[in-house]
Structure 1
Amino acid sequence: MNQSYAQPAGEDRRIPVTVLSGYLGSGKTTLLNHVLNNRTGLRVAVIVNDMSEVNIDADLIRGGGGLSRIDEKLVEMSNGCICCTLREDLLTEVERLAEEGRFDYILIESTGIGEPVPVAQTFSYVDEENGIDLTQLTRLDTMVTVVNAAEFWTDYQSREKLRDRGQEVEAEDERSIVDLLVEQVEFCDVLILNKCDLVEPAELDRLEQVLRSLQPTATFIRSINGQVDAAEILNTGKFDFERASVSAGWIQELEREEHAPETEEYGIHSFVYKRKVPFHPERFGRWLARWPEAVVRSKGIVWMAFDNRKAYSFSQAGRSKEFTSAGMWVSALTPEEREFYFGEGESLENSPDWDDRWGDRVTKLVLIGIGMDREAIERSLDAALLTDAELEQDWQTFPNPFKPVRA
């Protein structure tokens, strides 16, 4: 799909859009029905996305009595996901609804296995291939994620992939349940913690604090049966793509000068592990196998001794771990490559991670957890680094059972 980014000009007459995301069973449809029955005179078009051939959620919305059959509309998008396989269909449907000129608002309920980022991107670029420019017709107002308070920890600690539950988008869909949950939590403006009546108050407080550590910038709302004031998710003006892209807790921790204080009552805190020494592949592999249970989320860049040219990205959520190439270290590039990527005269030596021997090579891992023993975790990670003697050896001779794979 050819695309170019654009900013709308002139008076803003665009139709605002709210997108509801959340894993299956979180209560998105119940929330949507409640909002439709408690809005203040807005003429609304609703798009409901369902992976199955029969759009059950659309039937529930249709029977919920919240939409006028005369001047409002319900659009069903079935048998696919609007974040990938039905993305062009979403573009077309939203354009058509906007150009009808008879709606004040568009509400979109994404499928439970949909990722919010691609949906948000749909409203941020010009689709040159199909000649559709939603940036001139609509304004993405609010990204909402609904979390099932009663089932969150069960799903978060699961080792299952979507295909294990028969929920995959396509045969090649290798996403884990926990990775999807994290995607949905870390990219939103409003997080609705639903089904709160099914969780003890103390446990609910603890869960909310953990979610706030994963997503510290969103507005948090607790609900029972999706009963939320419509004004909390309609015409909020909260969404900003750039801000949302850096709203995740691990990014906030990396960028802040002072680390966030520990939430004393629940022992929830985070820290950045930073070292200018590479990991020994075998010892780091053993460390990953003995993962500290107190760590619920970790993400960052890793320097591995088996490859001194590439940086590696590490991401962990619950029991899911992903280790993949993140591109070349700048100091491994030729002068010509540096000029191509960074421009002439760019001084990389001013980077805080730069030194004369290793350049920009560094490990920076954010760890977020409950009751973490920071000193013990740092000691165990330090033990996996190359020793001073090993730094002077040929790193390629070290035992290396490590391969960049999903775990």
Structure 2
Amino acid sequence: MTRDDQIAQEKKTTFLEGKRLRQEKIPVTVLSGYLGAGKTTVLNHVLNNRNGLKVAVIVNDLSELNIDAELVRDGGKLSRTDETLVEMSNGCICCTLREDLLREVERLAREDRFDYILIESTGIGEPVPVAQTFSYIDEELGIDLTKFCRLDTMVTVVDAYRFWHDYSSGETLLDRNQATGENDTREVVDLLIDQIEFCDVLLLNKCDMVEEESLHELEGVLRALQPGARLLRTVNGAIDPSAILNTGLFDFEQASLSAGWIRELEKPQHTPETEEYGIASFVYERVRPFHPGRLMDWMRDWPAEVVRSKGTIWLATRNDYAQSFSQAGPSIQLGPEGCWVAALPKAERLEILRDEPELRRSWHPEYGDRINRFVLIGIGMNRAELEAGLDACLLSDAELPYDWRRFEDPFPNVAGELPKAATP
């Protein structure tokens, strides 16, 4: 074997180091992604190209008949003697089957015969609760997976062909008969965004079904939504296993802060940039409250060019409480985020200000920490027009002296879904 052949072989087997060195903690990769995105196809491709890695596979399916597990069993070429396939059906590992997931992973790890654990989450599963399962001790069950496992990579598979259809559908999981139960009122678009905003690797699948220009635009949007993840194109789920196995990418704190809207809010200064395909973002920030009636009217005619928006809103009628605001496609949600520091009793307020110098520096002499501050991410946004429209929703100089509690307030009294915006 030549020296070049040796180097090539070393590169090919880099991701198998966990197997050769027998790490104390078994690495785990979790595949998330909406129904039909191609998670099972990706999983089977990895299993067929894993170069001797002994793998335990957990496949989660909401239905009683675990179809995905059958596809993996038939197409993944798992060794009947060295490997195992665990089916988890009739629920989601992020909620109803979380306890089962804890017990199964602990059992597999204690067997001490696997090099890796691969998990395919159900298409309507949320990645954050699954990651928490591997990151914290479960006091009630007395199970600490951090002793046995290392969550290595959170992967989200995105359907390039159907993404915009699902994003703009305005449908709930109940509408599509995909909900976990009658109380599961999640919107499809909110689930898509949750899966994209919490991951280490984004696999944009079915790229052969989309024109190149549309792919570039979608990639730009995905990078704006999740700038911290590696973004890779795939066709028929074909991916180099080393892209999602033994990457060492996952860090819970970093993943929790990796969403585009969070990074935008944390920038000390934002310099507007002209980006390819007009994909951009900016922070709307005003130290003046919104008139609830005018703001609701503006939101009902939501600008289609704004893909994602999230942050904090100050409503004049609710002067003591900050409102958490989140928009994705036609889904808009708003609800109490917590009490403004300025509304707290004086002794408590002074104690907080003493311990937080950054808050002291931004403190307004009249309004304290009250502020409207949220990020808008979109395609072809006219920032001046958007800011003018939002500014018109703020209290006018003439309205400031009024009793703000008397203004019209059509927003719900608790956190919840608002009347749908116009579908883009």
TM-score, normalised to structure 2, is 0.90
Q: Distance in 1 between matches of 2:308 and 2:197?
A: 11
Is the alpha carbon distance of 1:346 and 1:117 closer, same or farther for their aligned partners in structure 2, counting shifts above 3 Å?
A: same
**Match in the other structure for 1:247:** 258
**Match in the other structure for 1:99:** 110
Q: Which residue among 390, 412, 420 is the counterpart of 1:403?
A: 412
Matched, 1:390 2:395: no
Is the alpha carbon distance of 1:334 and 1:32 closer, same or farther for their aligned partners in structure 2, counting shifts above 3 Å?
A: same
Is the alpha carbon distance of 1:289 and 1:60 closer, same or farther for their aligned partners in structure 2, counting shifts above 3 Å?
A: same
Does the aligned pair in 1 maintain the 2:32–2:156 contact within 8 Å? yes
Q: Distance in 1 between matches of 2:276 and 2:195?
A: 26
**Match in the other structure for 2:167:** 156
Q: Which residue among 331, 334, 350 is the counterpart of 2:342?
A: 331
Q: Distance in 1 between matches of 2:148 and 2:314?
A: 45
Secondary structure (helix, strand or coil) at the match of 1:159 reads coil
Residues 356-367 of structure 1 mapped to structure 2, 5 A cutoff: 356-367=365-376
- Give CA deviations for 1:163-202 in whole Å, capped at 9, x if unaligned: 1000001211010000000000000000000000000011
- Give CA deviations for 1:300-344 in whole Å, capped at 9, x if unaligned: 00000011100001100011000111010011111454478x5x9
Q: Distance in 1 between matches of 2:303 and 2:187?
A: 20
**Match in the other structure for 1:109:** 120
Secondary structure (helix, strand or coil) at the match of 2:130 reads helix
Q: Which residue among 194, 211, 223 is the counterpart of 1:183?
A: 194
**Match in the other structure for 2:84:** 73
Does the aligned pair in 2 maintain the 1:260–1:269 contact within 8 Å? no
- Give CA deviations for 1:191-216 in whole Å, capped at 9, x if unaligned: 00000000001101111101110001
Secondary structure (helix, strand or coil) at the match of 1:192 reads strand
**Match in the other structure for 2:305:** 294
Q: Distance in 2 between matches of 1:401 and 1:34?
A: 51
* Structure with the higher fraction of residues in helix conformation: 2
Matched, 1:139 2:119: no
Cα deviation, residue 41, structure 1: 1.7
% of aligned pairs identical? 64
Residues 47-58 of structure 1 mapped to structure 2, 5 A cutoff: 47-58=58-69
Structure 1: runs of 5+ lacking an equivalent? 1-10
* Moved segments of 4+, more than 6 Å: none
Is the alpha carbon distance of 1:96 and 1:336 closer, same or farther for their aligned partners in structure 2, counting shifts above 3 Å?
A: farther
Is the alpha carbon distance of 1:12 and 1:334 closer, same or farther for their aligned partners in structure 2, counting shifts above 3 Å?
A: farther
Matched, 1:82 2:93: yes
Q: Distance in 2 between matches of 1:61 and 1:208?
A: 29
Count of residues in Structure 1 that have an aligned counterpart in Structure 2: 395
**Match in the other structure for 1:46:** 57
Matched, 1:208 2:219: yes
TM-score, normalised to structure 1, is 0.94
Matched, 1:199 2:210: yes
Range with greater deviation from structure 2 (46-55 or 285-294): 285-294
Q: Distance in 2 between matches of 1:129 and 1:348?
A: 38
Does the aligned pair in 2 maintain the 1:50–1:57 contact within 8 Å? yes
- Give CA deviations for 1:13-49 in whole Å, capped at 9, x if unaligned: 1000000000000000000000000012211000000
Structure 2: runs of 5+ lacking an equivalent? 1-21, 419-424
Secondary structure (helix, strand or coil) at the match of 1:306 reads helix
Does the aligned pair in 1 maintain the 2:45–2:76 contact within 8 Å? no
Secondary structure (helix, strand or coil) at the match of 1:164 reads coil
Matched, 1:19 2:20: no
**Match in the other structure for 1:235:** 246
Is the alpha carbon distance of 1:349 and 1:91 closer, same or farther for their aligned partners in structure 2, counting shifts above 3 Å?
A: closer
Secondary structure (helix, strand or coil) at the match of 2:221 reads helix
Range with greater deviation from structure 2 (353-362 or 308-317): 353-362
Does the aligned pair in 1 maintain the 2:296–2:411 contact within 8 Å? yes
Cα deviation, residue 243, structure 1: 0.3
Is the alpha carbon distance of 1:296 and 1:65 closer, same or farther for their aligned partners in structure 2, counting shifts above 3 Å?
A: closer
Cα deviation, residue 285, structure 1: 1.0
Secondary structure (helix, strand or coil) at the match of 2:303 reads coil
Does the aligned pair in 1 maintain the 2:359–2:369 contact within 8 Å? no
Does the aligned pair in 2 maintain the 1:349–1:355 contact within 8 Å? no
RMSD: 1.6
Does the aligned pair in 1 maintain the 2:170–2:330 contact within 8 Å? yes
Is the alpha carbon distance of 1:395 and 1:104 closer, same or farther for their aligned partners in structure 2, counting shifts above 3 Å?
A: same
Q: Distance in 1 between matches of 2:23 and 2:339?
A: 42
Range with greater deviation from structure 2 (353-362 or 366-375): 353-362
Q: Distance in 1 between matches of 2:204 and 2:73?
A: 25
Q: Distance in 2 between matches of 1:261 and 1:96?
A: 52
Cα deviation, residue 262, structure 1: 3.7
Q: Which amino acid aligns with 1:119?
A: V
Cα deviation, residue 350, structure 1: 4.2
Secondary structure (helix, strand or coil) at the match of 1:16 reads strand
Q: Distance in 2 between matches of 1:69 and 1:333?
A: 63
Cα deviation, residue 259, structure 1: 2.8
**Match in the other structure for 1:308:** 319
**Match in the other structure for 1:37:** 48
